[in-house]
Amino acid sequence: MKKWSFAAGMMMILSAVMIGCGKEAAQPVDIAEGVDKCEICHMGVANDQHATEILMTDGKALKFDDIGCMYQWIAENGTEQIDVQYVRDYLSKEWVQGEQATYVYDENFKTPMGYGIYSFKEKSAADAFTKEQQAGTVMVAQDLKNHTWESSMKKHKAGHGEGHGGGQAENHGASHGEGHGDAGKTGEHTPSTANHN
C-alpha cells in the first residue's frame, strides 16, 4: 500500500512539473483595422509593423498603435496582470515576444505616435538596419524599462502652438496604414490631446 501511495504521489508531482514546463505563452490576437483602438491614445490600430499587444492573465488583449503607448500603459497600470507582451518585427511584421525582441531607437524614426522605436526579431537585423540607416541605437527589452519615453510629436506640437494639425481619431485611423513600410517615412499622425489621459 505504501509503495502504491509513493508511486501515485511521484506521478502527480511529475505531471505537475510537466504541465508547468510545457505551458506555452498566450498567442497574439489579430488586429482588426477600423475596429481596434489604442488603449492609450484611442487612435485606430493599423495591422502593421508598429502594432503591439499586451495579453492579460485573464485572457484580455490590449492593443496599441505604437510601442510608446504600450509602455505608457505599463507605467500607469503596472505589470502584475500582464501575461505576455508582443511587438512586431519591423521587416516581416511577424509577432515577437517583447522580451525576446531587439529594438532600435532614434528620435527621427517615424512611428504612429512619434516614439521612434522599431522592433526586430533578430539582433543581427537590428544591427544591419542601424548600419544601413546610419542612425539609431540598438536596445534590448531591459533598456526599454529605463528609456525616457518622449514623443517627437508632442515636442513638435509644443514648438508650434496649439491648433497645429489637431488630428481626429477617424482621420488617423483612415491614414494610419499609409507609408509605414519605409524607414523614416510614414503618414502624418497627430495625437488628439483630448483623448490622452
Split at pLDDT 50, 70, 90, the class of 180 is very low
Looking at the chain, the whole-number percentage of residues with pLDDT higher than 70 is 66
In this prediction the pTM is 0.69
Q: Which residue has the higher pLDDT, 35 or 154?
A: 35
pLDDT digits (tens, 9 = 90+) for 126-155: 999 999 999 999 999 999 988 888 887 765
pLDDT digits (tens, 9 = 90+) for 154-167: 654 545 444 433 33
- Domain map (residue ranges) of the chain: 22-162+175-187
Q: Which residue has the higher pLDDT, 184 or 138?
A: 138
Question: Mapped to the 3 state alphabet, what secondary structure does the chain carry?
Answer: CHHHHHHHHHHHHHHHHHHHHHCCCCCCCCCCCCCCECCCCCCECCCCCCCEEEEECCCCEEEECCHHHHHHHHHHHCCCCEEEEEEECCCCCCEEEHHHCEEEECCCCCCCCCCCEEEECCHHHHHHHHHHHCCCEEEEHHHHHCCCCCCHHHHHHHHHCCCCCCCCHHHHHHHCCCCCCCCCCCCCCCCCHHHCC
